Structure 1
Amino acid sequence: MTATLTQTPAITAPTLTDFEVTNECQCLYCNNCECGFQSSYFDIECPECKADGEWAGDCFECFDDMSAPVLEVAAAWFAANPSEAGLYTIAGENLGWQRRSGYKVIDASDSVIDAIAVDTTWRQTWTINPTPGGEFTATMSHHDVPTGSSYTIRPALPNEID
């Protein structure tokens, strides 16, 4: 899947479409160039010399690099979609092996990536349009839900706030 970034007029953050984040390390090492690089599980080619890289065993902060665009555009979405109480609801469907539904209320300063993460290896795909009323969705797949759970983020309703 190819992620796309498109600039939205009058908004400082781009729109994310099908942007993937995983908690599996994506760090590789090229023996020819003697340097580390980050790539996907299926593309192990060094961007400099095109030789196949080897899985590094050391992490080069790839999770922070992968997460940064999601967190940056999420902050822009929160700014464009203010909540009266400063709280937002993450509504989830097809959660876990029992395929449950539910919601979680978060603060705009919380990491949306961490808010839906589970204690296993996972892959999240984000679509965020940081405009008023813009889309803010994610899917997350892992061993209990290989086809993915779906999440929608929106300003919290008064009856959802404890």
Structure 2
Amino acid sequence: YWVRPNPEQAIKLFQLHGSFNWLYCPVCLNLRLTPKVKSVSKILIVPQKCEICSGSLTYIIIPPTFFKVMSNHYLRQVWFDAEKSLRNIKKIYFCGYSFPDADIHIKYLLKRIELSLQNDLEIYIINWAENKKEHQAELEKERYLRFFKDKDIIHYKKLSFQDFCKRGIENAGDF
């Protein structure tokens, strides 16, 4: 079973593209979160019904493409909460995100935040993997550097997400 983390100690993670753990009923708008199970793989094999109205559950996944349907209420709420949280941010950690050119919604959100911030910002990119080619890593890094106006705030770390979690966020500047 899953225990909700203590909000005083939790780090906010925003899944702006949805999640394999979100099952949504388009009939009654119910959302079922399945934190320990990737439910999408189950509903692709055996369709699941909503416990409230018996409608067919679907997933909420928005791929980083130029054409996105952002009409889902829950997804819009995540985007709103993300922007609200970013307004006074000092550090952003991108974990496992290559910053694709097609993801214009995130870029628009980040540019609004960057231009309105009154304080200094540090950006850490944690997106390394053992099998990643150096050229691929350089292309990812270049996308971040091209986008943000102050190049000195970008810190590309040769860390996998797993290594980042083992070392802890409080040591991020030391990596």
Identify whether the pair has TM-score above 0.5, normalized to the shorter chain: no
Higher helix share goes to which structure?
A: 2
Name which structure has the greater RCO, CA cutoff 8 Å, separation 6+. Answer: 1
Higher strand share goes to which structure?
A: 1
TM norm structure 2: 0.33
